[in-house]
A and B are shown apart, each in its own frame.
Chain A
Amino acid sequence: MSTTEKPRGTKIEKMTEAALAAPLKRRSFLKALGITAAAVSAPIGTATAVTDKLKDSNFWETYFQKHYKEMSAEDKAQVFARIERETKTTYGVDVHVGDQQPIPGVKFAYALNLSRCNGSRRCVEACVIENNQSRHEPQIQYIKVLEMPRGTLDPERGDLYYEGEAVPKNDKFYLPVQCNHCDNPPCTKVCPVEATWKEADGIVVVDYDWCIGCRYCQAACPYEARHFNFAKPNIPAEEINPVQGYLSNRIRPKGVMEKCTFCLHRTRNGQNPACHDACPTGARKFGNILDPESELSKILKEKRVFVLKEELNTLPQFFYYFD
Chain B
Amino acid sequence: MGLKSYAIFWFRMITYAFSGGRNFNLWVWFLLLLMAPGFWAYYHQFTEGLIVTNMSDQVSWGAYIANFTFLVGVAAAAVLLVVPAYVYHHQPTKEIVLLGELLAVSAIFMCLLFIMVDMGRPDRFFHVLPIVGHLNFPRSVLAWDVIVLNGYLFLNAHISGYLLYMKYLGRTPNKMIYMPVVFISILWAISIHTVTAFLYSGLGGRPFWNTAILAPRFLISAFAGGPAILTIAFRTIQKFSKMNVDEKVFDLLKQIVAVTMPINMFLLGCELFKEFYTDSTHVASAKYLYFGLHGAHMLQPYIWGAITMDTIALIIFVTPYLRRNNRVFLIGCVLAIVGIWVEKGMGLIIPGFIPSPLGDIVEYIPSLHETLICIGIWAWGGLIYSLLARVAIGVLTGDLKEKTI
Direct contact of A and B (CB under 8 A): yes
**What residues of chain A have their CB less than 8 Å away from a CB belonging to chain B?**
1-6, 8-9, 12-13, 16-17, 20, 35, 38-39, 42-43, 45-46, 49-50, 53, 63, 67, 70, 137-138, 144, 146, 154-158, 160, 177, 186, 189-195, 210-216, 218-224, 226-232, 253-257, 309, 312-314
Contact B50 A255 (CB under 8 A): yes
Contact A312 B204 (CB under 8 A): yes
Contact A6 B36 (CB under 8 A): no
Instruction: Using known A-B contacts A214-B120, A224-B360, A230-B49, determine if residue A42 contacts B140 with beta carbons closer than 8 Å.
Output: no
CA distance A230 to B61 in the complex (A): 12
Pick from B33, B35, B121: contact of A256, CB below 8 A. B121
Chain B interface helix/strand/loop/mixed: helix
Interchain pairs with CB closer than 8 A, number: 211
Question: Would you list 11 pairs from A and B whose C-beta atoms are within 8 A, ordered by A residue?
Answer: A3-B244, A16-B26, A35-B33, A35-B36, A45-B40, A156-B281, A192-B140, A193-B127, A193-B128, A221-B205, A254-B120
Contact A214 B119 (CB under 8 A): yes
A-side contacts of B125, CB under 8 Å: 212
User: 15 extra interchain contacts, Cβ-Cβ under 8 A, other than A2-B95, A191-B136, A256-B121?
Assistant: A3-B244, A6-B242, A63-B123, A144-B358, A160-B358, A189-B140, A211-B121, A211-B124, A212-B121, A213-B121, A214-B120, A215-B61, A255-B119, A255-B121, A313-B204
Pick from B22, B39, B134, B356: contact of A17, CB below 8 A. B22
Contact A256 B120 (CB under 8 A): yes
CB nearest neighbor in B for A1: B95
Contact B58 A1 (CB under 8 A): no
Contact B240 A9 (CB under 8 A): yes
CA distance A255 to B118 in the complex (A): 10
Q: Shortest distance in angstroms between B195's beta carbon and chain A's nearest beta carbon?
A: 12
Q: Does B12 contact A (CB under 8 A)?
A: no
Pick from B51, B205, B244: contact of A222, CB below 8 A. B205
A-side contacts of B118, CB under 8 Å: 214-215
Instruction: Using known A-B contacts A38-B36, A218-B57, A221-B357, determine if residue A6 contacts B281 with beta carbons closer than 8 Å.
Output: no
Name the 4 nearest CB pairs between A and B, nearest first.
A213-B120, A222-B205, A255-B120, A156-B359
CA distance A195 to B134 in the complex (A): 9
Question: Which chain B residues in 189-234 approach chain A with CB under 8 Å?
Answer: 199, 202-206
Contact B127 A3 (CB under 8 A): no
Q: Shortest distance in angstroms between B132's beta carbon and chain A's nearest beta carbon?
A: 10
Contact B205 A158 (CB under 8 A): no
CA distance A68 to B242 in the complex (A): 57
Question: Which chain B residues in 289-334 approach chain A with CB under 8 Å?
Answer: none
Contact B205 A255 (CB under 8 A): no
